[in-house]
Amino acid sequence: MTFDEIVKARRSIRSYKSAPIEQDKLLAVLDAGRLAPSARNRQDWRFTVVTNQKLRERLSYACCGQSVVAEAPVSIILWGRAEDVMECDQSAATVDCSIALSFMILKAQELGLGTCWLGAFKADEVAKVLDLPDGAVIVAVTPLGYPNEEPAARPRKSPDAIYDFRE
């Protein structure tokens, strides 16, 4: 599968099979995130991998009741250990974890796994459920597993609505 095919095939998956994920595939997804670029190459991120069913159920409540967090065999929480603002006034944790998760979701697609980038969560509750350290900046949550659905592609804006060339 080419990169373009992976990008075009990727969907947000909101229903998962109960089949476990093979360890080599899980590690490949995590490694794709580990290899992503980060501000000043600090790699100041953590990927908390939750496979325990009861913990995923508690986590689903912290994610605004999204049952998909408990349904998928794995949930991954991306967070930074410290809030660092880059020279461009952007949060390094947010940018770095977002890049890492982008790499992870594309690798998951290549391996036949599904993901759904979740931004609906209560960060303080997620931190409490996972016993994360004070100051943890939780950026995103994604379920990970074999899709139990094949959603159609969602509409995309035209290039003219997005691209802004300056000559």
Cα(120)–Cα(142) distance, integer angstroms: 11
Strands (E) across the chain are located at 45-50, 74-80, 114-115, 137-145
- Report whether 11 contacts 145 (CB < 8 A): no
Mean pLDDT of 15-29: 97
Global confidence as pTM: 0.95
> Does residue 76 register a pLDDT over 80?
yes
Task: Give per-residue pLDDT as tens, 84-101.
Answer: 888 899 989 999 999 999
pLDDT digits (tens, 9 = 90+) for 144-158: 999 999 999 999 999
Question: What was the pLDDT predicted at 86?
Answer: 85
- Can you give the pLDDT at residue 128? 98
What CATH number is given for 20-146 in this structure? 3.40.109.10
Decide: helix, strand or coil at residue 81. Answer: coil
CA torsion 102-112-122-62 (nearest 10°) is -160
Cα–Cα distance, 136 to 123 (Å, whole number) = 9
